[in-house]
Amino acid sequence: MNEPGSPLQQAADAKRAIAGDRAAFVWLVNSTARLVLATILLDVRDPHWADDLTQETFLKAWRSIGTLNDPSRFNAWLIGIAKSVCVDAHRHNQRIKRGGGTETSTVARLKRVGQESEQNTDSASLEDPSPGPLDRLSQADQRERLIEALKSLPDAQRDVLSLRYLAGADYDTIAKQLNLSDGALRGLLHRGLAALRERLGRRETAPPAPRQRRTMFNLKPEP
């Protein structure tokens, strides 16, 4: 029996999903949700908008699962969909702005909720008697600086640290989603964190990883 989350198990689940097995696709969602979320967060930079686009990515993936020719390439195929969803979202908002309108109500609402959440978080953080350099910045500012630094890293380091610091994945989840051995993961974390600290400033440290984000996804019955 294949280990849950392993490349062999993922390929097997993808093959079943192609055949129409929804339960198999839900397993795929569970094993790749944070990878998709981290990819989208690097692009749109807003956690609430990223959650919304993550849901859209998986809906599009389910609807087009029959176009996946190689089940072992599910991750690459899925990330391609996530990037396409981001491009479409940006284009949609640009068209609205050029037409003199505003962002879609969903995007505007998500961003407003995000801003309110960050304000509440910032107020609570003032109670910290000894905040670090990055802690003194707003959560939004921290995220902007972190994303800029992450995007300047080599791909392998960026992928590992994005999963950790943007999507809140634990080390076991990172290793499974990126198909890394324990030694390879440790090496990438060590080199990536050193490079990240260099880019953020020698006296600053990387922000703590957020708590694991719980990604909810439901497949609605076809009409």
Here the contacts of 111-114 (C-beta below 8 Å, separation 24 or greater) are 111/46, 111/48, 111/49, 113/48, 114/46, 114/47, 114/48, 114/49
- Please determine, for residue 214, whether its predicted confidence score (pLDDT) is greater than 80: no
Question: Would you state the structure tokens that stand for residue 165, as one six-digit string?
Answer: 């610091």
Q: What is the mean pLDDT of residues 5-13?
A: 87
Give the separation between CA 6 and CA 81, rounded to whole angstroms.
Answer: 21
Count Cβ atoms below 10 Å from residue 72 Cβ, excluding itself.
14
Which of residues 108 and 38 earns the better pLDDT score?
A: 38
Question: Would you state the structure tokens that stand for residue 122, as one six-digit string?
Answer: 């910032």
Q: Which pLDDT does position 97 carry in this prediction?
A: 76
User: In the chain, what percentage of residues exceed pLDDT 70?
Assistant: 70
pTM for the full predicted model: 0.73
Give the separation between CA 126 and CA 34, rounded to whole angstroms.
Answer: 29
